[in-house]
Amino acid sequence: MMKRKDKFRFFKAVFPLCAALLGAVPALLSMTPEAQAQVRIKDIASFEGVRENHLIGYGLVVGLLGTGDKLASSPFTRESIKGMLERLGVANLDANLLKTKNTAAVMVTAKLPPFARRGAPIDVTVSSLGDASSLRGGTLLVTPLSGADGEIYAVAQGAIATSGFLAQGNASSIVEGVPTIAKIENGAIVEREVNFELADLDSVRISLRTPDFTTARRMRNAINDAMGTDLAEVLDSATVEVFIPGKDNVPEIIADIENLRVQPDSTARVVVDEKSGTIVMGANVRIGQVAITQGGLTVRVDESFNVSQPGPVNVGGSSLIVPGAPISIGGTTVVVPETEIDIQENERRFTILQGDVSLQELVDGLNAIGVGARQTIAILQAIKAAGALHADLEII
């Protein structure tokens, strides 16, 4: 039992919390589904020019424990080793005499972040090019990374880390993950910067990841309302251009714009993956009034095989079995197939879906007739063929 003083302290501590929760209820109830569905512009669009750049390079990984390329079947690895050693002072080397198994030719890829400055580290991915069985424990030698224009933007080198491994013996082997792909965290250093200055821009273009005219118009309205003037205009279904009043505050304007919230719109679409039986329906999917029934006839076929074998010859009331001779005379052993066919017809009622039903009503109607994913796919295709599915049906 709590004493009076303890009860007083308890209610004194709990009362402010209860008052705060009760005060928040009207605000929660006033939130509309549209307000809850709003997302930031930065989550559905990107700013033109502010993007990553892909880099690629060719290099060698050394220090492998006998899991490198076989030089007989990877001539590019052999020539690369010879060229590397010649640059390091080992001259007059016969490449045909190289028998090393601790080196592998690899392709090195990376993404140069926007506004990456000289000296900044970036991550790289190392992938085997030849027939190496594992890159575990190797070290990537100096590898220049070039962009699409052929210029070198970064240089990679360092010890690689693989997530997979390979263990093998004379009779069996175990492979976990992909041991021929590895990563180097901060394995490359930026040597050249991409020339792009925000201060030189008179306008900023925002590109929607999913083009839609309605979403672009809502984005334009949100930007103009926030900035207090008509600086944004819709160029097409995927692009909104915002004019910059002053070049000295371009980063500030972009920061303000990307945090504005809009409600994205989308096309009604049903995506079906027949391989896995997965069905994804958008919230805007609508179906006209249709009557649906599915299945109703079950055919079951059972096959069995029996062996028919004649009995032994009966001579004088006893079976005569002669060693080394056939058991029966004048008969053969045959396999007799037996087939049983059972047909069951299950009565199923029609389920009527009223016109312009919502996604929830559609799912409830399909569940009412007890169909699975495979049957649902067939039903959706039939509804589409009947012209009652008001959505794009995409089968992948």
The distance from CA 326 to its chain's CA centroid, rounded to whole angstroms, is: 67
- Examine the domain organization and report whether 57 and 182 are in the same domain: yes
- Examine the domain organization and report whether 150 and 255 are in the same domain: no
- Examine the domain organization and report whether 282 and 226 are in the same domain: no
Q: Is 284 among the domain residues?
A: yes
**Residue 339: what pLDDT?**
65
Q: Is 275 among the domain residues?
A: yes
Q: Is 22 among the domain residues?
A: no
- Examine the domain organization and report whether 274 and 257 are in the same domain: no
Q: In angstroms, what CA-CA distances link 364 with 17, 45, 288, 377?
A: 40, 35, 15, 15
Structure tokens at 158: 């360092």
**CB-based burial, 264-298: b 16+ in 10 Å, e otherwise:** beeeeebebeeeeeebebeeebbbeebebebeeee
**Residue 123: what pLDDT?**
95
Q: Is 214 among the domain residues?
A: yes
Q: Is 368 among the domain residues?
A: yes
Q: Is 33 among the domain residues?
A: no
**Residue 351: what pLDDT?**
58
Structure tokens at 115: 């506004």
CB 238, CB 208: distance < 8 Å: yes
- Examine the domain organization and report whether 164 and 215 are in the same domain: no
Domain-terminating residue out of 132, 167, 190:
190
330: number of CA atoms within 13 Å, CB side? Answer: 3
- Examine the domain organization and report whether 105 and 203 are in the same domain: no
- Examine the domain organization and report whether 112 and 174 are in the same domain: yes
Domain-terminating residue out of 148, 169, 190:
190
- Examine the domain organization and report whether 180 and 209 are in the same domain: no
Q: Given the structure tokens 């090019």, which residue do they identify? A: 129
- Examine the domain organization and report whether 104 and 184 are in the same domain: yes
Q: Given the structure tokens 């592998």, which residue do they identify? A: 104
> Which CATH number goes with the domain that contains 223?
3.30.70
Domain-terminating residue out of 170, 190, 210:
190
The number of folded domains in the chain is: 3
**Residue 323: what pLDDT?**
58
Q: Is 30 among the domain residues?
A: no
Q: Given the structure tokens 């569905």, which residue do they identify? A: 37
**Residue 279: what pLDDT?**
80
3-state secondary structure of 262: strand
- Examine the domain organization and report whether 253 and 274 are in the same domain: no
- Examine the domain organization and report whether 58 and 186 are in the same domain: yes
Nearest to 87 by CA among 60, 127, 114: 60
**Residue 28: what pLDDT?**
39
The distance from CA 393 to its chain's CA centroid, rounded to whole angstroms, is: 21
Q: Given the structure tokens 């609508």, which residue do they identify? A: 286
> Cβ contacts of residue 294 below 8 Å, gap of 6+?
348, 369, 371, 375, 378, 379
Structure tokens at 326: 């056939």
Q: What is the mean pLDDT, run by run of 10 residues, along the chain of 396 residues?
A: 49 45 42 60 90 94 92 89 88 79 95 92 95 92 94 95 69 72 94 85 90 93 90 93 81 90 86 79 76 59 66 55 54 70 57 61 69 75 80 82
Its domain, for residue 253, covers 199-262
Q: Is 2 among the domain residues?
A: no
Q: What is the DSSP string of 349-362?
A: --EEEPTTB-HHHH
Cα–Cα distance for residue pair 390/57, rounded to 1 Å: 49
Residue 68 has phi, psi (to 5 degrees) of -80, -170
- Examine the domain organization and report whether 134 and 224 are in the same domain: no
